[in-house]
């Protein structure tokens, strides 16, 4: 039903005149042969495997509008989608940056600025409407989706756990993983001791109705899952949930392990992350308005300095406050 309903919604949303709507009868049949708009291109080839250094991620003059009706991203309605897109708002404008091989790039900015949208384009949840996103020099539209999603690991803010055992939740990232590999990932993510202390160990059921885990524990399980998947590019939305300081320190260590040697794009909410970032991109209203490292951006006294005061400063211990930063 959804497959039928989507196209109809698309048609009703588009400002076509009645005659055009009537003559597009064959389009209805095309619609029945549905294909998602985000699909492998005809000449798609796999993104090269894990050999060698982590690939650079490059945004080259990227602009983007969300399709007006997400559900109806259908190849056979491409022209309609395009017509619709013309009426939707552009949310990214001329975004250009490079996350070099193994670098950590932090995205910061006000709510609604476009940070999540930038991360969506890396794993090609959507296609850009202008410019290009490249990984290892390859346009993401020219590589197979399977290989792209194998190489790009995504950890969202509210790490989703299935109502299933810890083993199943982790093995889903790498089917066939041995218990030894799972324990290794749990240890590296700083959650091995906790799982070992649970009565059922790896067989403990977590998720909605299962063993209750704190926000920090869920995040560390998500990081263990990421480590097991071992992607060479990581896209991560740091949780905003306030963690106790012990949990915070554990998450920080787990993060450091998970991101080491991988090219990472992180929507940053932690002071430790922005401090360590090779590059901070300050996003405002769909544009990169400032870029640089923590200290230099603080000194500039612009939007980053303001965000620092409102978001990050309170995480700063009194003993290691910024040098040369704003003093108020
Ligand atoms: P936050 O910090 O609140 O998560 P953000 O910086 O990640 O915000 P985005 O979620 O990327 O911002 O949103 C950028 C713009 O795109 C916003 O105006 C938002 O309303 C719009 N937007 C986000 N998702 C969609 C969507 N699926 N369809 C249409 N518009 C969207």
| DSSP state string for 126-193 | S--SEEEEEETTEEGGGB-HHHHHHHEEEE-SS----SEEHHHHHHTTSTT--HHHHHHHHHHTT-HH
Tokens of 109: 């900015």
Tokens of 141: 């539209």
State CA 227 to chain mean position distance: 16
Q: Indicate whether residue 191 lines ligand 1 (CB < 6 A).
A: no
Q: Indicate whether residue 112 lines ligand 1 (CB < 6 A).
A: yes
Q: Which of 280, 269, 285, 289 is nearest to 103 (CA)?
A: 280
Nearby residues of 319 by Cβ (< 8 Å), 6 or more positions away: none
Q: Indicate whether residue 67 lines ligand 1 (CB < 6 A).
A: no
Q: What distances in angstroms separate CA 257 from CA 79, 115, 187, one per listed residue?
A: 45, 23, 11
pLDDT of 281 reads: 98
Cβ-count burial of 293 within 10 angstroms (0-12 exposed, 13-18 middle, 19+ buried)? middle
Q: Which residues of the chain have pLDDT under 50?
A: 1-2, 4-32, 34-35, 70-73, 318-328
How many whole angstroms separate alpha carbon 325 and alpha carbon 305?
8
pLDDT of 286 reads: 97
Q: Indicate whether residue 169 lines ligand 1 (CB < 6 A).
A: no
- Name beta bridge partners: 234: 153, 264
pLDDT of 161 reads: 84
**Cα 279 to ligand 1 centroid, rounded to whole Å:** 22
On average, the pLDDT of the chain sits at: 81
From the CA of 120, give the closest atom in ligand 1. Answer: 11
pLDDT of 52 reads: 64
pLDDT of 61 reads: 98
Note the pLDDT tens digit of each residue in 98-148.
999 999 999 999 999 999 999 999 999 999 999 999 999 999 999 999 999
């Amino acid at each position: 039903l959804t497959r039928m309903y989507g196209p109809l919604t698309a048609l009703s949303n588009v400002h076509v005149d009645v005659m055009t709507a009537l003559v597009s009868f064959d389009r209805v049949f095309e619609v029945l042969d549905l294909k998602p708009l985000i699909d492998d291109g005809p000449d798609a080839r796999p993104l090269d495997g894990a050999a060698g250094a982590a690939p650079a991620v490059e945004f080259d003059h990227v602009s983007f509008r969300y399709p007006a009706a997400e559900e109806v991203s259908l190849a056979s309605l491409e022209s309609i989608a395009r017509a619709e897109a013309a009426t939707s708002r552009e949310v990214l404008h001329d975004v250009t940056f490079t996350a070099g091989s193994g670098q950590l790039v932090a995205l910061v900015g006000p709510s609604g600025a476009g940070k999540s949208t930038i991360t969506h384009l890396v794993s090609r949840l959507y296609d850009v409407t202008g410019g290009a996103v490249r990984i290892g020099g390859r346009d993401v539209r020219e590589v197979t989706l399977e290989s792209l999603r194998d190489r790009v690991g995504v950890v969202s803010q509210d790490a989703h756990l299935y109502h299933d055992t810890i083993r199943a939740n982790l093995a889903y990232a790498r089917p066939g993983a041995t218990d030894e590999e799972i324990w290794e990932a749990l240890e590296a993510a700083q959650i091995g001791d906790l799982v070992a202390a649970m009565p059922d160990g790896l067989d403990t059921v977590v998720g909605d109705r299962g063993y209750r885990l704190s926000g920090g524990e869920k995040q560390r399980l998500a990081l263990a899952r990421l480590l097991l998947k071992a992607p060479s590019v990581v896209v991560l939305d740091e949780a905003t949930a306030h963690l106790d300081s012990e949990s915070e320190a554990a998450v920080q260590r787990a993060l450091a392990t998970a991101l080491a040697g991988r090219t990472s794009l992180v929507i940053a909410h932690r002071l430790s992350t922005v401090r360590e970032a090779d590059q901070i991109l300050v996003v405002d209203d769909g544009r990169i308005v400032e870029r640089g490292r923590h200290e230099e951006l603080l000194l500039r006294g612009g939007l980053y300095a303001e965000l620092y005061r409102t978001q990050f400063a309170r995480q700063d211990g009194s003993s290691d406050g910024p040098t040369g930063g704003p003093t108020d």
